[in-house]
Amino acid sequence: MVSRVGREIELSPVEMGSRLGRKVEIDMASGSPDPNTIPLQQIRDAYNEVIESRGPSSLFYPGAGGQHELIDEIKRYLPSLKLNSKGSIVVTSGAQHAIELVAKYLLEDNVIAVENPTFVETLASLKHRSSIVLPVNIDANGISIEELDTMTKVIRPELVYVIPNCHNPGGVNLCEDRRKALAEMASERNFFIIEDDPYRPIAGDVPSPIKNHDRTGKVIYISSFSKILAPGLRVGFIVANDEIAERVSLLEQLDFSTSTINQYVISSLLRKGFITSRMTMLYNHYKRKMKTLIDSLTDAGLSSFNEPKCGFFLLLDLKKNAFKVLEETEKRGLVFVPAKGFFLRGGDTWARLSITKSSEEQIKRGVEILKHALNQIS
Amino acid sequence: MVSRVGREIELSPVEMGSRLGRKVEIDMASGSPDPNTIPLQQIRDAYNEVIESRGPSSLFYPGAGGQHELIDEIKRYLPSLKLNSKGSIVVTSGAQHAIELVAKYLLEDNVIAVENPTFVETLASLKHRSSIVLPVNIDANGISIEELDTMTKVIRPELVYVIPNCHNPGGVNLCEDRRKALAEMASERNFFIIEDDPYRPIAGDVPSPIKNHDRTGKVIYISSFSKILAPGLRVGFIVANDEIAERVSLLEQLDFSTSTINQYVISSLLRKGFITSRMTMLYNHYKRKMKTLIDSLTDAGLSSFNEPKCGFFLLLDLKKNAFKVLEETEKRGLVFVPAKGFFLRGGDTWARLSITKSSEEQIKRGVEILKHALNQIS
């Protein structure tokens, strides 16, 4: 009477966290960028300019695949992501929508492999369409190629899902050797890779994308303007081989969800070079806040984490049940995301701490609350 | 290697038509509202006001289900649609996205029934998830209850999909008796109805929704701000029983596609009463243009159509292959949509003519081109 995904879908811990986050003083749950970094004036000017210059056509149906003007601007933008433009571009309503579209296209009860841990919300789009989800551990240098190699010798996945930069929730970057090895393995063993790379624009100097090493069109590159600009516009994109790009773009006819005017707003801001001009500034901004978190945790004797290289998140082993710890911290005004949902095995004692919505003072205070809560729990 | 929908999806004739439409003088293909009716200044003011008053929160992630402020405004808006607010509201990225979400929730190789003809793009979301699609003919008063009754005695559909007002492509309205009968049949025979009602705000004085007669929560009401305001914002909504609304809202976690700022823009325009203030004006506007089309066709001796009561479309039997006719009209600068894709059986000789993008002069000229083309073809 109801579809598989209709039965299986659950409230994500991130969505739950961000709902809780609105009610407390210190929100270390949110995956939204730092509100202070959202360039209100430039976005406002862009809306005015787009409506002024384009008139009614700024508000027509978007059509499938994206506005030509935006696609052209994204092409010019790719070198600043170190991406060799191999393949075609499809505009989407953010990276989550992009992954949903690719999953809708590729998967029908297939075997897939994902990082353990991985991002719980994108995982949902993949797992509800898969028969088996193979978890591959990550370390300080990203996904373990050895483990993936061993697994894929035994069972061929249709798709491997990877977050190469500023991993969510792990905070780590995938090292260059492993990027090459991944692309090579995909070509040899005939599986697709989703390279989910929304953090690259704020990641600082990271190795070039896995997609650059892609000989056979097996890597599907996905990014977004949510971190570098603002998530509320809901604009992202896919770079994939021509066949996948064409089919995925046709699938957009099923939702037509990407706002036309918002596409033109992004297009305008790209054309002016405004988006690329923010990259280093935002990398440094988050780096500074992350250092505050790392220092505070270290000072508090909480050191079970891989040091995040960039991005919004630090994954901390609390060594105690994270949901119980959250109950305690919530009373004192701190919310974070218990990370169990990000893990395919284990994860009960891990917390995802975000640095975006809290000030440096709040981060310090948040760590104090966390430390206190851990002491409360036997 | 690829999912069913990934294999089956095709370019829709509407999408093809609107691509062609951009290249010619007279676009009678488009499903976009009349560009002259898009209230640029008010939308622009609303963007400025929302960014000014809400600051960064206007550009955060939307979360699943919709912004509370917009949901509250939609509740207050429902009486102007004659809808008794039974059930919960889910905000979506337009009606197409709403139907995709409901289909994703409900369908997994089920039997469904749709009007013949029906809207080809929403049909795509339904048919790729169905085993059997039962076509039920429409006449000047909408879907045939007799046919549906006969069919559903033999085989129970999971879902019946209906466009009750300003039918796309048929132009007709469903009469009141049939609305009651449909709701009753759904309760008795235990199937869901999708009541797809994006045209109601511009439909004039039509009977109240099927949903008003829904005793058992089987009717899923869907509408949009695309016709009354502008399609490029991509905002629509679902009114459904609490369970469906909750599950469908969770499914939005898979795409998070509805722009936050656009939701606030709609919310602001609803609060000011601007959207309801346009209803009669737009009904009259399209009524006048439709009269021009009807008169021109009648004068040209082309009379094989049900007179549209409202909306954007007239469905005309050309009595000749519509694709061949289109080839001829295109040479002379007229594009329309051959309606075959809207039919589950037959339809080769039918054309969907839209009145939105053409002026009254262009409509007259379009009919002349059509008449000429029909004379050219043996």
Cis peptide before A117 (omega within 30 of 0): yes
Nearest to A165 by CA among A134, A127, A202: A202
Mean pLDDT throughout B205-215?
A: 97
Q: Which residues of A fall within a CB distance of 8 Å from B232?
A: 58-62, 259-261
Res. A21: pLDDT tops 90? no
B68: closest chain A residue by CA? A19
DSSP class of A229:
T
- B61 and A257: CB-CB below 8 Å? no
| B301/chain A closest Cα distance in angstroms | 33
Q: What is the C-alpha end-to-end distance of chain B, expressed in Å?
A: 46
The residue count of chain A comes to: 378
Q: Give, for A221, the enclosing helix (H) or strand (E).
A: strand A219-224
Nearest to A373 by CA among A312, A323, A313: A323
Res. B378: pLDDT tops 80? no
CB A29 within 8 A of CB A18: yes
Output the CA torsion B230→B231→B233→B237 (10° steps).
100
Res. A63: pLDDT tops 80? yes
Strands A142-143 and A130-139: antiparallel
- Which SS3 state, helix, strand or coil, does residue A2 take? coil
DSSP class of A344:
S
Res. A46: pLDDT tops 80? yes
pLDDT single digits (tens) A278-291:
999 999 999 999 99
In chain B the domains, ranked by start, together with CATH numbers, are 4-39+278-376 (3.90.1150.10), 60-275 (3.40.640.10)
**Helix, strand, coil abundance in chain A, percent, nearest 5:** 50, 15, 35
Strands (DSSP E) along B197-331, which ranges?
A: 219-224, 236-240, 313-317
Q: Which residues of B fall within a CB distance of 8 Å from A12?
A: 253
* Token pair for A251: 């699938």
Cα–Cα distance, B279 to B54 (Å, whole number): 28
Torsions phi, psi of A293, nearest 5? -65, -45
Cα–Cα distance, A290 to A296 (Å, whole number): 10
**Distance set, CA A271 to CA A73, A165, B8 (Å):** 6, 25, 37
Per residue, the 3-state secondary structure of B28-64, as one string, reads: ECCCCCCHHHCCHHHHHHHHHHHHHHHHHHHHCCCCC
Res. A257: pLDDT tops 90? yes
Cα–Cα distance, B36 to B367 (Å, whole number): 21
- A48 and B48: CB-CB below 8 Å? yes
Q: What residues contact A73, with CB distance under 8 A and at least 6 apart? A: A266, A267, A270, A271
Q: Closest partner residue to B56 among A40, A56, A254, by Cβ? A: A40
Cα–Cα distance, A139 to B84 (Å, whole number): 56
Output the CA torsion A344→A345→A350→A352 (10° steps).
-10
Res. B161: pLDDT tops 80? yes
- A104 and B6: CB-CB below 8 Å? yes
Cα–Cα distance, B72 to B67 (Å, whole number): 9
B190: closest chain A residue by CA? A1
- A40 and B57: CB-CB below 8 Å? no
Q: Which residues of A fall within a CB distance of 8 Å from B158?
A: 1
Q: Which residues of B fall within a CB distance of 8 Å from A231?
A: 59-61, 260
Q: Closest partner residue to A253 among B6, B124, B257, by Cβ? A: B124
B36: closest chain A residue by CA? A56
- A232 and B259: CB-CB below 8 Å? yes
Q: Closest partner residue to B254 among A63, A124, A253, by Cβ? A: A124
B126: closest chain A residue by CA? A254
Q: Give, for A42, the enclosing helix (H) or strand (E).
A: helix A40-54
Q: Which residues of A fall within a CB distance of 8 Å from B97?
A: 255-257
- A51 and B44: CB-CB below 8 Å? yes
- A35 and B56: CB-CB below 8 Å? yes
- Substitution target from A250, A258, A262 for chain B, most B beta carbons within 10 A: A250
Binning pLDDT at 50, 70 and 90, where does residue A85 land? confident
Cα–Cα distance, B102 to B121 (Å, whole number): 14
Q: Closest partner residue to B261 among A3, A5, A232, by Cβ? A: A232
Torsions phi, psi of B162, nearest 5? -135, 140
Structure confidence at residue A16 (pLDDT): 86
Query: For chain B, what percent of residues have pLDDT higher than 90?
Result: 96
- A40 and B61: CB-CB below 8 Å? no
- Substitution target from B27, B104, B229 for chain A, most A beta carbons within 10 A: B104
The strands making up B313-317's β-sheet, listed across from edge to edge, are: B26-28, B334-338, B350-354, B313-317
* Token pair for B183: 């709701």
Res. B67: pLDDT tops 80? yes
pLDDT single digits (tens) B6-36:
999 999 998 888 888 888 999 999 999 999 9
Q: Mean pLDDT, chain A, as a whole number?
A: 96
- Substitution target from B4, B20, B256, B258 for chain A, most A beta carbons within 10 A: B256
Q: Mean pLDDT, chain B, as a whole number?
A: 96
Binning pLDDT at 50, 70 and 90, where does residue A93 land? very high
* Token pair for B115: 């009007």
Strands (DSSP E) along B140-258, which ranges?
A: 142-143, 159-162, 192-196, 219-224, 236-240
A–B CB contacts, 8 A cutoff, strictly below: 227
Structure confidence at residue B20 (pLDDT): 86
Cα–Cα distance, A352 to A326 (Å, whole number): 11
Binning pLDDT at 50, 70 and 90, where does residue A315 land? very high
| A149/chain B closest Cα distance in angstroms | 21
- Substitution target from B12, B61, B123, B159 for chain A, most A beta carbons within 10 A: B61
pLDDT single digits (tens) A184-199:
999 999 999 999 999 9
| B331/chain A closest Cα distance in angstroms | 24
| B134/chain A closest Cα distance in angstroms | 18
Q: Which residues of B fall within a CB distance of 8 Å from A61?
A: 18, 31-32, 226, 231-232
Mean pLDDT throughout A48-57?
A: 98
Cα–Cα distance, A162 to A118 (Å, whole number): 8
Structure confidence at residue A378 (pLDDT): 76
pLDDT single digits (tens) A260-277:
999 999 999 999 999 999
